[in-house]
Structure 1
Amino acid sequence: MVGSYLSDLWKKLRFQPFYDGEWVKGIYLVKVRHDNFDDCFQKIGTTFYALRDKEIWVNLTGGTNQINFALLLGGCFTATAASYYYVFQQDTSLLHPEGLELREIEEKRTVDEILRRWNELPLFQLQIGETLMKLQERFAEREILNRSEVVKILGGEEMLPKFRRFLSFEEDKVRRGILFEKVVSLMDKIDRKVDNFSKWLDWAKGEGILSEL
């Protein structure tokens, strides 16, 4: 249903001259189990990681909690999302902004109304995934790290409070916290062999989860 809707919308917007050209080269849909967070995160996280050199905008309008949380967490781990946004509407049965019809999509009134409902979330990127993986490499060698060593990995003393949920501090000794283990195990779901767009296409096709408009 979503694929059919987007295909019709694409035609209505008359973007065909740009398709496979200089502007829009392709629109891809990735199939996820919308009620399964692990499935969503594995596919979203792998996609974000593969496209980390691209400008990614994340639309949080609608969607299940599992999908949106995976989008937020995947973006936080990889620091790939340039923008998180949503378009406010109350009618959850619609796939387009409430009160607007596709036949009106080219009118300035419609564009102005969509922009009025546009909300961008000013989320800051910590690229926490890379930092935790560096810590994990050190913890794999020994159970206890020195505080100064951890501070260097985090990038400064001021970063310590942000990681108190992940690490256990005892004077100059630092150990892994319970949340650290959970997050690292979650990050292991990201397939880091899929590290560019071409490999991502092959991976998604091989998984049978890719559709293209």
Structure 2
Amino acid sequence: MVAGQAGNPLKGVALHDTALTSVQLALDRLVCTVEVEGSGGQMPKGERVVITCQGLHSFFASFNFAEMLDNAWPGNVQDGHYYASGLFRAYVTGGMLEAGATNLTLGDSTPLDDSDSGESMPVLLSDYKALYDVDFDFGFLQHVGILPALGMVTAHVLMRVGDLSSDLVPAVLSFYGVKSCNLRLDVAAMRDSVRFGNIASLRVNVKGGIVWIYCREGFVEVVAEQVMLRKFG
């Protein structure tokens, strides 16, 4: 892997014509990782670079999965920049992402466990219409995983099983056949929403296959062919 230079971890790293394989956003740990893979351009084919943003305070992403998949070879990443203000920005064919953080490092492995899609949990529902009857108010959005090559997005949450004083149970919203996803989150402000949770509500467009997770300071929007909710308790 090509190492970055002092002061700018991305300087000298050839991100152009790599393929974006994974974005993992851990809100509870204030960390996000962006994984790219070489596809035969300046970065050797199969070589992997993981960009880790720590001390995360803001995050924005907009992805058109079909366009990204069509350009996975020779590479859907056009360019990436790291600014002295702590802002990391990546442009891809079919979207972009922007992460504001206090520290950025490069490696060939992720500090986050991105292997758990929640498939070990029992399925509670697998229908957009059924989501109408599920209450996410006063819950916590903890982790978002974006896997463009698999057409998949996961959102790990803690849900209330009753009123505001009730227990929290872990749950995973898994989206398959994802067409697009958009996120804009004020991560620092969301972390302060301890008492009432960082999720304000969840809205569904059944016909369009769209889910909006409205947070206290931001939102997550996913358009997909299928959704599954898995949870314990």
TM-score calculated relative to the size of structure 1: 0.22
Structure whose residues are more often strand by fraction? 2
Query: Relative contact order (alpha carbons < 8 A, sep ≥ 6): 1 or 2 greater?
Result: 1
